Amino acid sequence: MSTASVHITGIGGYLPQRILKNSDLEKMIDTTDQWISERTGIHQRHIIAEDQMTSDMAAEAVKIALADAGLTIDDIDALVVATTTPDMIFPSTATIVQAKLGGKDFPAWDIQAVCSGFVYGLAQLEGMMRGGMFKRVVLVGAEAMSRIVDWTDRGTCILFGDGAGAVVLEARDSAAENGLIGSVLHADGSYRDLLKAEHPHQPSSPALHHPALHHAAADFSIDSAGTAAVEMKGNEVFRVAVSKLGGVVTEILAKYELTDNDIDWLVPHQANIRIIQATAKKLGMGLDRVALTVSKHGNTSSASVPLALNDLYRSGRLETGQLILLEAFAGGFAWGANLLRWSK
* Residues classed as catalytic: 115, 269, 299
Contact 159, 40 (CB under 8 A): yes
Q: Which residues contact 310 (CB under 8 A, 6 or more apart)?
A: 11, 12, 13, 165
Q: Using CA atoms, how far apart are residues 76 and 43, in angstroms rounded to an integer?
A: 37
Distance CA(141)–CA(297), nearest Å, equals: 14
* Cα 331 to Cα 344: distance, rounded to the nearest angstrom: 32
* Gap between the Cα atoms of 34 and 292, Å rounded: 19
**Cβ neighbours, 10 Å, residue 67:** 13
- Tell me how far apart the terminal alpha carbons of the chain are, to the nearest angstrom: 20
- Cα(320)–Cα(270) distance, integer angstroms: 24
CA 200/CA 206 separation, integer angstroms: 11
Q: How far is CA 95 from CA 21, 86, 101, 110, in A?
A: 33, 11, 10, 9
d(CA 268, CA 329): 9
- Separation in Å, CA 134 to CA 6, 317, 337: 10, 30, 22
Length of the chain: 344
